[in-house]
Amino acid sequence: MTVNSKHLILALVVLASSVALAAPQNQPPTTQENKGHAAAHTVQQHEDEGTRIFQANCSRCHNTPEGFSPRISGTIVRHMRVRASLSKHDEQELLRFLNP
Amino acid sequence: MPRLLLNFRLSSLARLTRFFALALAVLSTASYGIAQDTPLLSGGVGFFTSTNAGQTTYTPEIEPLLAAPVGPHFLVESRAILLESFAPNGNDQPGYDHSHFISLIYLQGDYTLSSHITIVGGSYLIPFNTYNERLSPIWIGNFSGGPIIASLGAEGTGTGTGGMLSGSAISRRKYSISYNAYFSGLVNNQYFQAQRSAGGRTSLFLPDHGLEVGVSYNRQLQGTQENFYGAHVWWEPKNSGFQLRSEFARGHHAQGYWIETAYRTQAFGGFDSIIGRLEPVFRMNQTFRRDTVASDGVPLVNTQRADFGLDYNLPHNTRILTSYSRQFSSAGNFNIWQTGVVYRFLFPAWKGK
């Protein structure tokens, strides 16, 4: 095998690795099997709304805390309501998002 | 340690510990309607080093935060700071000198009056611009030190003692407007030290663009009755990993600005990949004296400082902060090197129902 061939193979491996590493982040969220179902659709809407509110108000300042007890999800939301000046609607959607 | 609250006098660890124990004991007697409303303990614990013009300090620090709902409308919240600072003895003397600092940062009660109005009473963080209220916790800031103008409009201690109205004035899918309006009385108690002042802040946020703009106002109502004006712009495009935060503040004797950028890439496996956890940050600070009256904590001569940082967001709520700064002024130029590791904790204060 010539030096050029080795370089070509190495370049392909690096390129393939980069694509493989980058690909999962671009995947859309997993579609629910019962997508057509009205109830599931409502849940999805709430999740989307909760995600939007979380990203717009919480993630702007700090990283998402990993793994907290559901027993304090209500307290977190009430604390965030004051810190981030959330409306009542946003508070409820955020609570639903943190505690589906 | 370039933090607002270090202007406080030292108080005793025992008193603070007793206060938190008493608060927990009182709150534990309250009944909570639903299990999700269990009081929480959160905060950050970290270890920081700072080499400022050749002088190095080592600072272990903890900032606990307590939030406890009482009934459906009332929330008690408080944050404190406990740190010990070690520095080598000067003049070629061996060993280290050390000092400690303990204080309540704020202790407030929040009453939700309606969907758009929350009444805040007690000792609260002054909502002037954004740094004091949002970015000063050690587990949030991208730099372990604050911007040079952090004290402008924040009255030295960063806290007011009195009342405040805050909330979301309008909240739509395309935009929202929030507001704060406060009045603080003169308090000389070492725990709730505050000056007589009034002010407020309002912000417009456009979620689709990740853009927030706001203005702040503060008027001191004692001594030299000074006005402070502030403006802030934050731009954080959705899912981009890019942050731009900036503030301008103008006081009676000085003015200045800071602008900070940060970026995390998703290109190599997402934000949680080895590369995606890296976060280069940059902040430019500039201050301008309007006269030489020292009343606001801003340097007495025009000063520029560039902060270059590289943070690493480890799993399990842990961050490593590193930065190099170069400060320029007619009083002298010098380097500042800072490192830190911070763990953010968040758990129920006790076992709920």
**Does position B15 have pLDDT exceeding 70, yes or no?**
no
In a domain, B14, yes or no: yes
Residue B191 structural domain = 4-26+54-347
Q: What is the DSSP letter of A32?
A: P
The residue of chain A with its CA nearest to that of B202 is: A85
Residues contacting B58, CB < 8 A, separation 6+? B47, B48, B49, B85, B86, B87
Domain count along chain B: 1
> pLDDT tens digit string along B196-226?
999 999 999 999 999 999 999 999 998 878 8
The alpha carbon of residue A31 is apart from the nearest alpha carbon of chain B, in Å, by: 20
The ipTM, to two decimals, is 0.84
Cα-based angle B250, B170, B65 (whole degrees, multiple of 5): 65
CA-based R_g, chain A, Å: 21
The alpha carbon of residue B108 is apart from the nearest alpha carbon of chain A, in Å, by: 11
> pLDDT tens digit string along B328-340?
999 999 999 999 9
- Best of A19, A72, A91 to disrupt the B interface (most B CBs within 10 Å) is A72
Q: Per-domain residue ranges for chain A?
A: 41-60+70-100
Mean pLDDT of B81-85: 96
Residues of chain A falling short of pLDDT 50 = 1-3, 14-36
In a domain, B35, yes or no: no
Task: Yes or no: say if B105 and B5 are a contact pair by the CB < 8 Å rule.
Answer: yes
- Please report, in angstroms and rounded to a whole number, the separation of the first and last CA atoms in chain B: 42
- C-beta atoms of B315 and A66 within 8 A: yes
In a domain, B34, yes or no: no
Instruction: Give the mean pLDDT of chain B.
Output: 89
As a whole number of angstroms, the distance between CA B184 and CA B5 comes to 17
In a domain, B353, yes or no: no
Amino acid A29: pLDDT: 31
In a domain, B37, yes or no: no
E strand map for B53-185: 55-70, 74-88, 96-114, 117-125, 159-171, 176-184
As a whole number of angstroms, the distance between CA A52 and CA A33 comes to 23
Q: Which of B118, B140, B236 sits opposite A82 (nearest CB)?
A: B118
> pLDDT tens digit string along B25-67?
555 555 444 568 899 999 999 999 999 988 899 999 999 999 9
As a whole number of angstroms, the distance between CA B68 and CA B110 comes to 10
- C-beta atoms of A63 and B36 within 8 A: no
Mean pLDDT of B160-182: 94
Please count the other Cβ atoms lying within 10 Å of the Cβ belonging to residue B276: 19
Task: Yes or no: say if B130 and B140 are a contact pair by the CB < 8 Å rule.
Answer: no
In a domain, B148, yes or no: yes
Look up the CATH number of the domain holding residue B198. Answer: 2.40.160
